[in-house]
Chain A
Amino acid sequence: MGLYSPPKSEAEFQKNFGQKKPLMNQTEAFYESSRCLFCYDAPCMNACPTHIDVPLFIKQIHTGNVIGAAETIFEANWLGNACGVVCPTTELCEGSCVYDNQHVPVIQIGRLQNFATSKAMAEDAKLFSAGESNGKKVAIIGAGPAGLSCACELRTLGYEVDIFEAKSKPSGLTVYGIAPYKITNEEVLDEIDYLQKQLGFTIHYNTAITTKAQLENLENNYDAIFLGVGIGATRQLGLEGEDKEGVIGAVEFIEELRMKHHEVQVPENVVVIGGGNTAIDAASESAKMGAKQVSLVYRRDRERMGAYNFEYDFAISTGVDSVFNATPVEILGNGKATGVKFIKTEVVDGKLSNIEGSEFLIECNLVIKATGQAKQGAFLSLIDDLELDKKSRITVHPETYQTTNPKYFAGGDAVNGGAEVVNGAYEGKMAARGMHGMLVDS
């Protein structure tokens, strides 16, 4: 087993993590764009959460107006470059391309999108500028996709924008969470840099907002506040042995991987617990880091997995083994994890239950828990009158994204409970318009 050897240099890391959707060359873009039918009321456009005018931008690529295509994309989606390669396109735009109805390969919309925006970024094409100042100020907490998108939109509407970000880099989970074979750190940061140069919002890095006093300060100094804080760290499982060395949350594991690349050591045997996209990513990434045996263990069956099919198939292609219908009982080891004891499960009367006496052991030196992230409940409770739903998601108005505290708006994972970059981009933009409606248009 083990399709990859552990990368010992940045070059080897890049080789193992080769881009799944590499940049198109001009010839590819020419032929691919020539195939688009320019459908009426295009299904691809309707399937995009940000409603990018797909047939228009593809036609623009084909007629040599590539920069114009980039403009069409960014007008709808401020993170259009990243989205081109990180969006689950087979579930969204490409999944609804009409070619599929006749089993003709669908248009590679994501890569065409990334082709156009990459060109605009490489040429530093000036497509946008800040709107005339309206004298209003907005504070944004969190420089993830939602916060950044909100910032861009607000700047075009003439607001002064300050973003407060706990970390030292912008773009949240796009740079700290998404699998490295989807996008490189440089490409993520280039897009933010490109937008920031044109629109001029301020990001205060290493500035976590954590206290009531800080929040009051923002409330006093800004006309509105946007919460783009995402969701939190990996949730504790409450398992025996969970505190052993070699047990790590998936989000934390991936973050370290994204920041340190080949310097991260992944042992030969890895167990990943969970059935969502994050679990799948952690498993594929472990395999690409050279682990010989990666076991992805999910407590239900294949059909109930939350992960997208294409992600699961990809994990299998990297050499990951999957184990279904098993749930962890205990993490074994003397200080350091050496294995996980599982018990088999079955569904009885619609309820998942353990099969007595069916315990089994998988040996490993690294246990990655991908069993969901804790929400930002504690922090959010510092804000007066802010209503959260049962799953600790911030309650917002469906169009304006205003929270139950009228000064606060919110979007992204903190509101949708954990979706995709494209949803954060859309919700941040809509919240900006919601604020504008409240502060200026009314």
Chain B
Amino acid sequence: MPDLSINFAGIKSPNPFWLASAPPTNSGYQVMKAFEAGWGGAVWKTLGVPVINVSSRYGSVNYRGTRMAGFNNIELITDRTLSDNLKEIEEVKKYFPDHAVIASLMVESKKEWEQIIKDAENAGADGLELNFGCPHGMCERGMGSAVGQEPEVLKTIVTWAKEFATVPVITKLTPNISHIIDPGLAAVEGGTDALSLINTIKSIVGIDLDSYAPYPVVDGKGTNGGYCGPAVKPIALEMVKELAKHVQIKDTPISGIGGIESWRDVVEFILLGAGSVQVCTAVMHYGFDIVREMEKGLTRFMLDKGYETIEDFRGKALPNVTEWKHLNLKYKVIAEIDESKCIGCDLCYIACDDGAHQAIAIPGNGKGRIPEIIEENCVGCNLCSLVCPVEECITMVRKDDGSASKTWDERTIAGTIPMTFDDERAGGNGHFVPSVADALKHKK
């Protein structure tokens, strides 16, 4: 059996599955229940000077039949007193000495940081997470993302934390910046032991058409919230990758957060360098039990691939994430339709004809609905294979012989890239484009 245990910047955990600092870690009751269900660690709901929350706190993006494909909230940090939280941390650690309990913290002055760090450590926290992420409410008071967006301020606070802390310090980053390297590097320079990301993304998930206010509506008004859930995973993955590839940051452990719901998501974060993962929305949707699907799926993946530990495959996708200019321009795929699977929806046809390169033909005139790829027109963009509702019906088949490789970079050096507006070397030059008037054939 593969060994799922991790040592994340000195924090030991029986598996890489942690709860993110959020409502599921509000109380000792919840964290204990989560550990019983199989979670390896929990980042406690952010501690600080307790807040007062509004009623009507969450909104969501429902995509077709799927509820909460995206989720947003306008909640703040903990609204419970510090002493209550600390007492419960201590109790949980007594029951689960080998699980990871990390205290998430957010305060203002150096004095407060010193005090709260001491308190959290005394309660038995295995690590600290500095919350520089919250993009609503707290930032209006100069905390959360207001810190995360100012690398210099962030660095100073990390330095303070490192000065006072004896347990590992994780810095949690906000994605609400244009370049994740800036706060990431600042944290590393401040001496952080690890990074975690992403916190939520500033968002408005929708407008109520009766009250003309954004969701969640609080007595006729709303505010921007923090966006998370499955919809944000691509953004989180990219940011994790950025940090994991950066020369000055890559040796700092990263805890991946954002849209994680199944084993596959977990594996993807690990392949991009994450050493642990954190989950909030999926637990808020389905409860702690979803960890079993993650655990079973991760185990099966490792068995199938022959990995014994998480470290065996951590970061394995990083060498394959490169810059655009290093991609092979000679690589050529073409769509292929499996007629025996096709159900004749013709979504591929219209997607290609209206949204891509007019490379699919349909019989028309009542002669059936099975489309055909016009090979010479197909640029291999993947669009039809993405819209096709049938599993493995349209596949992209490699057509170049695999021998030659030529990247943009190489062509630049060779001087064979288009240089002027009407350069004949334009990639699309020679590609089939219907005549403008052909469009009139579709006039109704």
Contacts and interface: CB of A to CB of B under 8 A. Distances in A.
Interface in A1-55: 25-27, 30, 34-35, 38, 40
6 contacts: A27-B341, A27-B391, A56-B293, A59-B262, A60-B297, A68-B297
Which 6 residue pairs across A and B have the least CB separation, nearest first?
A26-B391, A63-B262, A27-B391, A65-B297, A68-B300, A27-B390
B287 interface: yes
A326 interface: no
Contacts of B297: 60, 63, 65, 68
Interface in A63-78: 63-65, 67-68, 71-72
A64 B264 contact: yes
> Which interface class (under 10, 10 to 19, 20 to 34, 35 or more) fits A?
10 to 19
B65 interface: yes
Given A27-B391, A56-B296, A63-B264, 9 more contacts: A26-B391, A26-B392, A27-B393, A38-B286, A59-B262, A59-B293, A60-B293, A65-B263, A71-B300
Chain B interface residue count: which class? 20 to 34
Contacts of A35: 65
Interface of A: 25-27, 30, 34-35, 38, 40, 56, 59-60, 63-65, 67-68, 71-72
Interface string B367-396: 000000000000000000000011111000
A63 B389 contact: no
A378 B300 CA distance: 50
Interface string B290-310: 101100110011000000000
Interface of B: 65-66, 262-264, 286-287, 289-290, 292-293, 296-297, 300-301, 341, 389-393
A131 to B, nearest CB: 15
State the majority secondary structure of interface residues on A. Answer: helix
A56 B292 contact: yes
A38 B389 CA distance: 23
Given A27-B390, A27-B391, A35-B65, A67 B286 contact: no
Contacts of A67: 300
Contacts of A34: 65-66
B391 A30 contact: yes
A394 to B, nearest CB: 37
A183 to B, nearest CB: 25
A9 B290 CA distance: 50
A67 B303 CA distance: 12
A63 B391 contact: no
Given A40-B287, A63-B264, A68 B391 contact: no
A65 B391 contact: no
B277 to A, nearest CB: 15
Nearest to A39: B286
Contacts of A65: 263, 293, 296-297, 300-301
Contact of B296 (A27, A40, A64, A68): A68
Nearest to B297: A65
Nearest to B300: A68
A59 B289 CA distance: 12
A87 B107 CA distance: 59
| Residue of B263, B293, B389 with highest tally of chain A CB at under 10 A | B293
Nearest to B262: A63
Contacts of B289: 40
Nearest to B301: A65
Contacts of B392: 26
